[in-house]
Amino acid sequence: MTPLEVAEARALTPGCAEVLHLNHAGASLMPQPVLDAVIGHLQREGRTGGYEAASEAALSLGHTYEAVASLLGCAPTEVALTESATRAWDAAVYSLPIAPSQRVLMSRAEYASNAIALLQLCQRSGAEIVLVENDEHGQIDLAALAEALAHHDVALVSLVHVPTQSGLVNPAAAVGQLCQDAGVTFVLDACQSVGQLPLDVTQLGCDVLTGTGRKFLRGPRGTGFLYMRQALLEQVEPVMLDAHAAEWIAPDRFTVRADARRFENWESNVAGRIGLGVAIDHALGWGVANIAARTEWLAAGLRSRLAEIPGVTGHDRGEHLCAITTFSVADIDPTVIQRRLRAEAINVSVGTANFARLDLPPRGIDSVVRASVHYITTEDELDRFAESIRTIVSSPAS
């Protein structure tokens, strides 16, 4: 992206004038078109009524399915809209068949909500979770995965594309190829990768993909989506249904709808869903490949700046790193750093062990500061951030 394009993107983002936002991996700053779409629909609801406003907005709502499909390279009928990535992930995975004799494979990047759900599912079904170790780069070991797929009856492989606590990008396409070769369902959590990395479900080889609107897509909170491959969709009935997901055709019979919306509920945040579609259009307009190139370059620059500060330790591993940078400062709790930065109108997150128990504790790490750039971030902001960290290091008690 050129400097003029970055300036244009920042001009469309009111928050850029208020904060130095390095928390896009938590919740990004929404651009004005998204704000206009969400607020405009809420105002319409207030004037005409919720049902009536939704009816008027039917085309905009339908467009959001098309936007997700364009983003992922799938059919709109393979897309369901949800209130979060976790809700999408749970809706899909809890519905997949898991037999007592089977194994579920996951990596050390697994997110807490996913891991808890898998533990519960395996406790209920009698299946077993098998942890696939990392390779020397800190990402999922493909050779170990191939070995596990060859020697176990595997129900599914769960992979987090980009962990919440690291700049790592797992080799999802290679995992997808191994799963396809083995005939095993591949579930990809793209919560942190969607919007910052190009995603194509055919190239990734995933059967299920889940994502959120609020992070790198720069959409509203309370929005997410589920992709399920058509061939799998035809075999899976959701564990929960309502009158939107199914039709009550007789007192003792119902039929489940044919498309992925069988995983939805009737009641939803209509304004948020419209905003999600606008956010995806906005990202596609800039070009996700362009966004990826810029964010990786900015994150590399941030890591380089932090590496020059005594007492700062970076924690990102992997052959391919993305927009997320994690680090710690000797003898200063990450929450203290977060609080001091917030006093300067600088936003970051703190990643803690309870969200990444298979990754951080084995490395002797309790928590990290997570700074996540986006294409609206500037080099001047990186310089300001590094200077603030330098000040905190030099005066830890102040």
pLDDT in tens, 241-267: 999 999 999 999 999 999 999 999 999
State yes or no: pLDDT of 364 exceeds 80. yes
User: DSSP 3-state assignment of 332?
Assistant: strand
Segment 12-24 shows an average pLDDT of 98
In this structure, CATH architecture of domain 3-30+287-394? Alpha-Beta Complex (3.90)
Cα separation, 274 vs 164, whole angstroms: 26
State yes or no: pLDDT of 395 exceeds 90. no
Residue ranges of domains in the chain: 3-30+287-394, 33-285
Strands 312-314 and 103-107, sheet pairing = unpaired
- What residues contact residue 115 under an 8 Å CB cut-off, 6+ apart? 106, 357, 358
What does pTM read for this prediction? 0.96
Q: Which fold has domain 33-285?
A: Aspartate Aminotransferase; domain 2 (3.40.640)
Segment 84-90 shows an average pLDDT of 97
pLDDT band of 396, cuts 50, 70, 90: confident
- What is the identity of the amino acid at 309? I
Tell me the average pLDDT of the chain: 96
Hey, what are 29's tokens? 């700053």
Cα separation, 17 vs 381, whole angstroms: 12
